[in-house]
Amino acid sequence: MISIDGLKFELYIPEAEVKQRVKAVAERINEDYKGRQVILLGILNGAFMFAADLVRELTVDNEIHFTKVSSYEGTNSTGEVKELIGLTIPLEGRDVIVVEDIVDTGVTMHHLLNYLKDKGARSVEVCTLMSKPERRQVEVDIKYCAMVVPDKFILGYGLDYNNKGRGLKDVYQLKGER
């Protein structure tokens, strides 16, 4: 059990199982993209650790890039992607896999996918470490998902609470109801 800013988190998925799940998803990508070149697009900050482990399991020809989503904020927040910070590579005609930490309501990913399709990518697929289907507000087509999780706040292996806990090797979940 660990405690961050007054909240308690309990061990949920140990490191070894996370690694296994990441490997399994990488093997599917290796199979599906055989003979092609893939652009992995990691979404900062949360996906940095997943992306680092995923890319080391890939045998397909790949390039890895990172971007940060900047969305509109305020009273009428739609979560719409305003800009993808640091995304400078041309995507026309490329096969892109978005690498995300978790798809929750799906709002972020929905807008992100539209943004990337507008950039002329040949194909855009989603590879997420986790998905919380119970929380979905917008339908998102997720091709690669390492773990489906229940509606509990998750911490560790890249995911944060108040920007803390990202470096934890294991995955934790909030103890009790949120």
**Binding residues for ligand IMP restricted to 134-163, rule: CB under 6 A:** 153-154, 159
Question: How many alpha carbons lie under 13 Å from residue 11 in its C-beta half-sphere?
Answer: 9
Q: Which does 79 bind (CB under 5 to 8 A by kind): Mg ion, ligand IMP, none?
A: ligand IMP
Task: Name the burial class of residue 123, with classes exposed (0-12), middle (13-18) and buried (19+) by CB atoms within 10 angstroms of its CB.
Answer: middle
Residue 14 C-beta: closest distance to Mg ion, Å: 22
Tell me whether residue 5 is one of the annotated catalytic residues: no
In whole angstroms, how far apart are CA 70 and each of 15, 16, 37, 120, 176? 30, 33, 27, 20, 31
Q: Considering CB under 6 A, how many residues would be counted as binding ligand IMP?
A: 15
- Tell me which residue has tokens 């140990």: 14
The distance of closest approach from Cβ of residue 67 to ligand IMP in the complex, given in angstroms and rounded to an integer, is: 12
Residues from 21 through 50 that contact ligand IMP (CB under 6 A)? 46
What residues make contact with ligand IMP under the rule CB under 6 A?
46, 79, 100-109, 153-154, 159
